[in-house]
């Protein structure tokens, strides 16, 4: 499994986690390059269908991260995301996706180190779980 390079997509909010990841950069902390960030205005904007789309398209793991509870730039978007995550999590088993493949977290603009740690932990976890192939066989059937 040593040559397995997981593909991890991070859905983050603009105000906390995106800025936190910027801080990781300005502090020159190193982390695993397998993660790529997609910027959203708020975790409240994240439609969890996107997570399924990402899995169906070849993602091995996903990070969703935004502002800590009560710190949302838009006051309540992260609570909506959390509620959505709770429901979505219970659906994952049914969908055949290991819940450990999705990491839901809060990283503030001041937590550059936490972001690096989160990415490294997630990358390690996904490396242990191996590639997510379950949906690959559906390709071409018009299902994805």
Partner 1 sequence: MARIGVFVCHCGENISATVDVKKVAEAASRIPGVAHSVEYKYMCSDPGQQMIRNAIREKNLTGVVVAACSPRMHEPTFRRACAEAGLNPFLCEMANIREHCSWVHEKSEATTHKAFDIVRTLVAKVKRNKALLPIKVPVTKTALVLGGGIAGIQASLDIANSGHKVILVEKEPSIGGHMSQLSETFPTLDCSQCILTPRMVEVAQHPNITLHSYSELESMDGFIGNFKVRIRKKARSLDEKLCTGCGLCVQKCPSKKISSEFDAGLGLRPAIYVPFPQAVPNKPVIDREHCTYYRTGKCRLCEKICPTQAIRFDQEDEIIEADIGAVVVATGFDIKHGDFFPEYGYGKYKDVIDGLQFERLASASGPTLGEIRRPSDGQVPQTVVFVACAGSRDPAKGIEYCSKICCMYTAKHAMLYKHKVHHGKPFVFYMDIRAGGKMYEEFVRRAMEEDGVQYIRSRVSRIYERGGKLVVKGADTLLGSRPLEIEADLVVLATAGVAQAGAEQLAQRLHVSFDAHKFYAEAHPKLRPVETNTAGIFLAGACQAPKDIPESVAQASGAAAKVAILFSQSELVREPLIAVVDRQAPPLYSSCVGCFLCQPSCPYQAIEKEEIRDRDGQLIKTIAKVNPGLCQGCGTCVALCRTKSIDIQGFSHEQVYAEVLALLNRGEDNV
**Applying CB under 8 A, which residues contact partner 1?**
5, 7, 9, 14-16, 18-19, 21-22, 24-26, 28-31, 33-34, 36-42, 44-48, 50, 53-54, 57-59, 70-77, 80, 84, 108-111, 116
- Give the separation between CA 83 and CA 91, rounded to whole angstroms: 13
- Give the separation between CA 4 and CA 14, rounded to whole angstroms: 30
- Which C-beta is closer to partner 1: that of 68 or that of 100? 68
Hey, CA dihedral for 14, 16, 22, 25, is it positive or negative? negative
Query: Shortest gap between Cβ of 100 and partner 1 (angstroms)?
Result: 20
Query: Shortest gap between Cβ of 93 and partner 1 (angstroms)?
Result: 22
- Which C-beta is closer to partner 1: that of 36 or that of 90? 36
- Which C-beta is closer to partner 1: that of 58 or that of 125? 58
Hey, CA dihedral for 52, 54, 59, 62, is it positive or negative? negative
- Which C-beta is closer to partner 1: that of 22 or that of 98? 22
- Reading the block at residue 130, the tokens are 């191996």
- Give the separation between CA 22 and CA 42, rounded to whole angstroms: 16
CB 47 within 8 A of CB 38: no
Query: Shortest gap between Cβ of 120 and partner 1 (angstroms)?
Result: 11
């Amino acid at each position: 499994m040593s040559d397995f390079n997981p593909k991890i997509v991070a859905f983050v909010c603009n105000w906390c986690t995106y800025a936190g990841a910027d801080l990781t950069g300005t502090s020159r902390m190193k982390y695993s390059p397998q993660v790529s960030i997609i910027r959203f205005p708020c975790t409240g904007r994240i439609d969890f269908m996107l997570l399924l789309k990402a899995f169906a398209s070849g993602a091995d793991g996903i990070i969703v991260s935004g502002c800590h509870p009560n710190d949302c730039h838009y006051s309540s978007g992260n609570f909506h995301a959390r509620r959505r995550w709770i429901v979505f999590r219970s659906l994952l088993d049914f969908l055949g996706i290991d819940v450990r493949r999705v990491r839901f977290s809060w990283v503030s603009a001041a937590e550059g180190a936490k972001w690096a740690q989160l990415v490294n932990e997630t990358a390690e976890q996904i490396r242990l779980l191996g590639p997510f192939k379950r949906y690959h066989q559906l390709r071409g059937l018009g299902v994805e």
